[in-house]
Amino acid sequence: MIKKFCRYCKKLKIILALLLMACIGLLLFNGYNRAYKPYLYDKSNYYYKAYHYKVKKITSQKKIVKDIEIELLHFGKDDFPHDLSTYKLSHYIDKGIDPRRLFLHITFTDNTNMTLPFGQVTSNENHYEEYQNYFDHKVFEVGPGFDKEWFSNAENYRQIIQRFPGLHDKTMDADFELYLRDFLFLIVPGDTLYQTGAVKDGVSEYNFQLKNPKSGKMQRYIIYGNEGDIPIWDWQAPFVTFDKDDANKERTKERIQDFFDDYDIREYGNLWDERYNITTFPRLNSFRGDGYNFYKMVFYSDEFTNFPLSLDLTGKSENFKITITDSYLEEESRITKDEIHYLKYSKSKTYDSSNKEAYINDILNYHAK
């Protein structure tokens, strides 16, 4: 009887040990799947694995201005030049994103370049004031644009106009308003542009690759966040997610593919911006919890204009030199209602210290109206 009981206890121990091992195995299997196959448990998102995932802290970059060009786009037919023989012919595509009438082209002393659109040329353009102000300041924590705090400051304006004696001081007017054009037309070689916004307080760059589901090509992306390095205990695999729309699955997949295809098209430049797309912005590691905060733009490469820019007046007024280009656009074709192809006829004039007074009268006073 005792022997039978001992044999029974021995078998029970084996069974319990096997059950314990099975439970541990199930827990490990479940943990592995939640970390590396979270899509098995989350039915509200599409998951795409992020390859070669790296995180690093970044700091603000600065660059010194070498050459400046401001390009004014003319869309109307009323002021279209009659003689185009002296104009340079090129092409321009209007994506219909915002009323881009004016571009700032800068070459820096390190021989890199940047081009940024900004605001309206005059305050009487045919756009709502709120809409105009929004695009005139272009203020974001990340993304191409300019720092509103600096470029709307009256003291900064009064300091920069000292470079152009005789220029009317707008701050002396009642109910004055300052726009980007009141500053950017006054930049001189030697001035310093530096990144601000999120990067001024320290931000992390999350660099990874995704596989294009159609082509199979690996594509590199950058997202900025403010949570620093991944903690040692965080061993979960990184994914990018998109919200599912069960009511319209095919359309959702088309929009996701649009995101991947834009890597080559780059319709809006060096970034995919949620504001211009219905698709929910891809969220890196959304399953890790709300503690990971990412800015809702994804970039294709590390560019100086990935953050808004501020200005340091390190240039000297005697080194003033700027090129003003007038570009007249003639519609050539319409691909879609939001994509218009133009023939662009351009003519440039360079101003420096020898014709500075003409620049004040012909350009600064004209665009201050």
pLDDT digits (tens, 9 = 90+) for 123-156: 333 333 443 444 333 335 888 888 888 888 899 9
Q: Any idea how long the chain is?
A: 369
pLDDT digits (tens, 9 = 90+) for 70-101: 998 887 776 788 888 889 999 887 765 544 67
Residues of the chain where predicted confidence (pLDDT) is lower than 50: 98-99, 120-139, 228, 232-233, 278-279, 286-291
State the Cα–Cα distance between residues 179 and 366, nearest whole angstrom: 14
State residue 204's pLDDT score.
83
State residue 160's pLDDT score.
95
Retrieve residue 103's tokens.
């571009």
State the Cα–Cα distance between residues 337 and 339, nearest whole angstrom: 6
User: Which of 242, 256, 244, 240 lies closest to 288, judged by CA?
Assistant: 240
State residue 175's pLDDT score.
80
State residue 125's pLDDT score.
33
State the Cα–Cα distance between residues 92 and 327, nearest whole angstrom: 10
